Each structure stands twice: as C-alpha cells, then as structure tokens.
Amino acid sequence: MLTIHYLDKMLKTATSAQLPKIKNKRLWIDATSITHEEAKLLQDTFDLHPLTTEDMLHSKTRIKIEEFNNYLFCVFYGIQKNETISMMDIDFAIGANFVISNHEKEIPTTTALLKDSQRAGKLLQRGPDFLFHWMLNQEIENFFPVLEEIDIHIEALEEQVTKKPHPKIMEEILRLKRQLTEIKKIAFHQREKTSYLAKNEHRFITRKSIPYFRDAYDHTIRVSDTVDNYREAVANTFDVYMSSVSNNMNEVMKVLSIFATIALPLTAISSIYGTNFVHLPGSQFQYGFWVMILAMLALSIVMLFYFKKKEWF
C-alpha cells in the first residue's frame, strides 16, 4: 500500500493514480507491504533502478547505501519489542524532491508522522534529506528503550543466578546472548553506514543537514557501545551461573563425602561382627548388639563434631 503526501502550500494526500501527475512536486511516499504493481509504478515514475525495486520487494536486505543518478538508496534497520524483539529493514530512496520509505509492516515512527501532518509538512518543506534524517534518527533512538529492558532483564537474571541457579536460567541467558549478537550485527553496520552519510558529501544530502546526520551517527555509536556492554554483562552472568552450579555441586559432593567417611568405620565394625565365627568378643553378652549400636552412634557423633571443628562443612 502506498501512502502519498505532497507539499503544495500545505501537506496533501494523493492516490497512486495521481502520482505521475504530481511527481514534480515535493513528495513523501510511504510504502507498506509493497506489491509488484506498486513497485513498478514507483520505478516508472521516478526512474528507479530495477535492483532498487527488487530490494524493496524483498525483506532482510543487508544494510547498504547506493548512489544513483537521480536518487540515493539506503537500507537501514529498525527494532520493535512486543512479545519478542524483532528487527525490520526499512528502505529509503531520497531524490531531489522526493523521499520513498518502504517497510514490510507498519512501524510506529512512520505511522505517527503520517498522522502528524504539521510535523511532516515542516520536515518536507526543509527538504527530503531532513525528512529522511528524522525517520532514520527515530529508528536509531528506538533501540534505547529496548536495550534498557534488556539491561533490567540481565540484572534480574544475575540476581536469580546468585540465589538459585536453574537450567531455565541458562536457557534465558543463551537466548539473550543470541538476541544481543543479532542486535550487535545490525548496530555495527548501521554505525558504519551512518558515518558514511555524516562524513561524505552526497548529491542528495545538503550541507545544512550534515550536522543532523552527525548527531544520528553519535546515537549509533551509543547503541553499539551499549550492546557491547550488555554482551559482556551476559557473558559475566553466564560465568556466574557456571560458578554457582560448580559451587552447588561441590557442596553436594562435600555432604556425600562426609556421609561416606562416617559410614566407612561403621561398615567395618558391622562387617566384623557379621562374620560367621563362633567366638567373637561380646557375642555372648546379652546386650552386645545394643552396645555395638551405641558405639557406632557415638563414633558417628565424634566424627561429625571433629568435621565441624575443622570447618569442613
């Protein structure tokens, strides 16, 4: 679906059929779940390269910046947090008097801007590059609240690990580690490409907008550094989990060793008096069995007292 806005004293909305007639006006075209027919219409109207429309029709395109004769084509990624964290690529084609934004599903950034005609009109009036910067910067800033939630989750896992490690906690740590690795890949490449926009001259990026792209580049650095810190925190949480499991296992082995040590002399005594010899010391005594039991119990108590004094448990 194409949502077409154009600036003519005020921001107006047009249909796809009107697009060829108003192509010389300053335009913002937002495409959601673009069809082959809509992609063909954009290609014919704005003389887009076939490879550009091919990228628009496919998701999970790599992050890129490509310059063509009449437009600049960029692919960046946004982040969304619902039940799970998802990454979605957003395509931008920036020309002398138009901006085309393309994404597979509706995203809050463009939805809010489409409803705020006053803001969209001001941005479009300043130039297509300013509108492009605003949308790109908003998608970059959307990383921060998601990363804050991840930080809170990491702190909660650290607390659980120190109290009582559980296999489910390990599964959650590994899931977080995979998520952060995916975000890291996106954040690193976006920082590189945003730097390319901020530090190089482009035909469709005016000098007035360069400082704003530098600010967006600073945000990508913060995102990338934050992800690195959280990856390190998750790795530390994993190490703490393994240490906790190892300590718990050591405690179990310690208790079992104490029981085995106490049982060893008791087993020896019971084995001796369990032999089939007729004459054994005390075998004829009326209370011999109970004396042996009391002796074994006393020996166990003495050994426990000795282990406690040595602080072995």
Higher pLDDT, 258 or 38: 38
* Number of other residues whose CB lies within 10 A of the CB of residue 191: 21
Higher pLDDT, 244 or 105: 105
| pLDDT (tens digit per residue) in 198-209 | 887 788 888 888
Q: How many CA atoms lie within 13 A of 156 on its CB side?
A: 9
Number of H helices, E strands in the chain: 9, 7
pLDDT confidence band for 85 (50 / 70 / 90) = confident
| pLDDT (tens digit per residue) in 233-267 | 888 888 888 777 777 776 777 777 777 777 888 78
- pLDDT score at 221: 93
- pLDDT score at 309: 76
User: Rounded to whole angstroms, how far apart are CA atoms 178 and 174?
Assistant: 6
Segments making up each domain of the chain, as ranges: 2-245, 273-313
Among the residue ranges 74-78, 213-217, 303-307, the one predicted with the least confidence is 303-307
| pLDDT (tens digit per residue) in 149-187 | 989 888 888 888 877 777 788 888 888 888 898 999 999
Residue type, 11: L
The residue count of the chain comes to 313
Using CA atoms, how far residue 4 sits from 11, 38, 76, in Å, is 10, 12, 21
Partners of 304 in the β-ladder? none
pTM: 0.78
Q: Which residue has the tokens 């690795």?
A: 181
Partners of 250 in the β-ladder? none
User: Rounded to whole angstroms, how far apart are CA atoms 306 and 313?
Assistant: 11
Q: What percent of the chain has pLDDT over 90?
A: 20
The CA-CA-CA angle for residues 251, 255, 257, to 5°, reads: 110
CATH 3.30.460.20 matches 2-245: yes
Q: Cα–chain-centroid distance for residue 108?
A: 19
Q: Which of 231, 224, 229, 223 has its CA nearest to residue 173?
A: 231
- pLDDT score at 81: 81
Distance separating the N- and C-terminal Cα atoms of the chain: 70
Higher pLDDT, 260 or 214: 214
How does the average pLDDT of the chain come out, rounded? 84
- pLDDT score at 22: 79
- pLDDT score at 120: 84
- pLDDT score at 266: 77
- pLDDT score at 94: 93
Strands (E), the chain: 2-8, 10-14, 26-32, 64-67, 72-81, 85-94, 98-103
Q: What letter would DSSP give residue 62?
A: P
- pLDDT score at 9: 59
Among the residue ranges 3-17, 79-93, 118-132, 173-187, the one predicted with the least confidence is 3-17
Q: Which of 70, 65, 22, 30 has its CA nearest to residue 46?
A: 70
Q: What is the mean pLDDT of residues 91-97?
A: 91
- pLDDT score at 47: 87
Q: What is the mean pLDDT of residues 140-148?
A: 91
Q: How many CA atoms lie within 13 A of 90 on its CB side?
A: 29
User: Rounded to whole angstroms, how far apart are CA atoms 177 and 175?
Assistant: 5
